[in-house]
Amino acid sequence: MKFYSSLILSLMILSSCKESSKDHEIVSTATNTEMPAARNAPQVDNIPLIDDQKDYTITPTVEGLDNPWGGMTWLPNGDLLYTEKEGQLYKFNGSKSIEIKGVPEVYLRGQGGLLDVTVHPQFEKNNFIYISYASKLGGGDGGNTTIARAVLKNNKLENLEVLYKAMPNSKKGQHFGSRFTWDDEGHLYFSIGDRGNRDVNPQDIYRDCGKIYRINDDGSIPDDNPFVEIATGIDTIGIKTAIYSFGNRNPQGMTTHPVTGKIIAHEHGPQGGDEINIIESGKNYGWPVISYGINYSGTTFTDITEKEGMEQPIYYWVPSIAPSGFAIINNPAYKEWNGNFLVGSLKFQYLEMLYMDGNRVTKREKVADKIGRLRNVKISPDGLIYIAVEGKGIFKIEKK
């Protein structure tokens, strides 16, 4: 085994954890003796927020939905797949929605239920789709985020197999994640929130939750995942080798940049401190050691926003917008919008568009202001913007 010259990043004392029998060392895959310098803190002051210019059209696509939590993924024939959090998966063929049978039982509690859905990049060859959902699998009270693959055939899921199940189960109702994205090499990424166990899960790579994961399309672990090699060392057996990044709070938006190929995610802060991060292999994104937010009660849980070995976001929001869904425009038909980031706001009920100069936000603009709690935003294969709104449905946005 190749030994890393810089193995230990920090020693987290988990005395508050009643579920864990031992403390764990947080390890790094850095190969030099000094940790690379953290990204500089982003500039967020004096960035203008522009009112809704209404220079676009909004067209209803699927109406009368309750909570279209995830999905908006497209089959090669143009049919739209979407989920309802209560446990239903649908296919919209342009005129009507058809329920997909064979969805496993979901653990419906708080933010948990049937979450995201994605299509295999080579669906035409294998008919694979992937779903994320909260389930009771694994024993113990409560549930946790689960990733499964199935064959979609005749409007039914067949040969369903669980590829990953976060443990332990918990009766807490918050922070299940969960979003999917694929990289250009066919790896599947998914997010799982900290499950409300802030002081234990995110900084411990022996534990699930508060992480972004990377697996092969069959659920196996890529050989170049950041913690695979060190997991064979003394006292490191039990590391969750599917982990790609850690120190994440509750990512409910994740996408692959259409130009750079980088994995980019945003996550909820508590009171303030929602943030956007470029997700890189083995990196620690700091939660809850560093944060730009405070407790919902108004008290503080950390006094620092920067720490060596922990990544800075490229942007953060204070006050929180409660971000959900994430997309990047890559279509010249959207004119000056092209290249911008799109983030749904649950709290303020609009689609936020961030104008980008590289990795720097230069301007913010409201789109579809007051449309409702915006749960998801995706770009269709033909480059158009689709949004999902709680209690309403799915809409298409086109530039005038």
* CB count in 10 Å sphere of residue 6: 15
Q: In terms of C-beta density within 10 A (0-12 exposed, 13-18 middle, 19 or more buried), how is residue 288 classed?
A: buried
DSSP state for residue 124 in the 8-state scheme: H
Q: Are strands 360-367 and 49-50 parallel, antiparallel or unpaired?
A: parallel
Give the three-state DSSP class for 131.
strand
**Taking a C-beta distance cutoff of 8 angstroms, is the pair 133, 177 a contact?**
no
CA distance 17 to 119: 38
Where b means 16+ CB within 10 Å and e means fewer, 45-57 reads eeeeeeeeeeeee
Question: Do 147 and 132 contact (CB within 8 A), yes or no?
Answer: yes
Q: Please report which residue ranges of 225-343 form alpha helices under DSSP H.
A: none
Q: Could you tell me which residues are beta bridge partners of residue 119?
A: 129
Q: Which two structure tokens, joined as six digits, stand for 217?
A: 């399309």
Beta bridge partners of 153: 156
How many other CB atoms are found less than 10 A from the CB of residue 398? 13
Q: Catalytic: 175?
A: yes
Burial degree of 372 (CB within 10 A; 0-12, 13-18, 19+) = middle
* 310-323: b (≥16 Cβ within 10 Å) or e: bbbbbbbbbebbbb
Active-site residue among 175, 187, 266, 268? 175
17: enclosing H helix or E strand:
none
Residues marked active site are found at 175
